[in-house]
A = this chain, B = another copy of it.
Amino acid sequence: MDNRFWRIARRPEGTDFAAALELAGENFSALAEGQIRIRNTHLSMDAGTRMWLSDREDGYQPPLPVGGPMTGLVLGEVIESRAAGFATGDLVRAFGQWADVSTVDAVMSGAILLDPTVADRRAWFGPLGMNGWTALWGIDQTGAAKPGERVLVSAAAGATGILAVQIAKLLGCEAWGIAGGAAKCAYLTDELGIVGAVDYKAADVGAQLNAAGGIDVYFDNVGGPLLDQVLTRMNHYGRIAVCGLLADYTSGTRTAPAEFDQVLMRRLRVEGFFSPDFMHEGPGLTRRLRDWTEAGALVMPYDVTQGLENTLTAYAKLFTGGNIGKVIVELDQ
Contact = CB atoms under 8 A, between A and B. Distances in A.
Interface of A: 58-60, 223, 232, 242-245, 248, 254-258, 260-274, 277
Given A232-B58, A254-B260, A260-B255, A268 B271 contact: yes
Contacts of A248: 261
A242 B263 contact: yes
Given A245-B261, A257-B257, A261-B255, A270 B271 contact: yes
Given A257-B256, A258-B254, A265 B232 contact: no
Stoichiometry (number of copies): 2
Contacts of A242: 263-264
Nearest to A266: B272
Contacts of A269: 269-272
A90 B269 CA distance: 40
A258 B248 CA distance: 12
Interface residues of chain A: helix, strand, loop or mixed (majority):
loop
A266 B263 CA distance: 18
Contact of A277 (B59, B256, B263, B267): B267
Contacts of A270: 263, 269-271
A223, A258, A267 pick with most chain B CB within 10 angstroms: A267
Contacts of A266: 60, 272
A207 B26 CA distance: 46
Contacts of A267: 60, 271-274, 277
23 contacts: A58-B262, A58-B265, A59-B265, A60-B264, A223-B260, A223-B261, A242-B264, A243-B264, A245-B261, A248-B261, A254-B260, A254-B261, A255-B260, A256-B258, A263-B271, A263-B272, A265-B272, A267-B271, A267-B272, A267-B274, A268-B272, A269-B269, A269-B270
A107 B81 CA distance: 74
A154 to B, nearest CB: 13
A242 to B, nearest CB: 5
A62 to B, nearest CB: 12
A192 to B, nearest CB: 26
Given A257-B256, A257-B257, A271-B270, A265 B223 contact: no
Nearest to A263: B272
Nearest to A248: B261
A262 to B, nearest CB: 7
A134 B257 CA distance: 25
A262, A268, A270, A272 pick with most chain B CB within 10 angstroms: A272
A49 to B, nearest CB: 14
A271 B267 CA distance: 6
A324 to B, nearest CB: 24
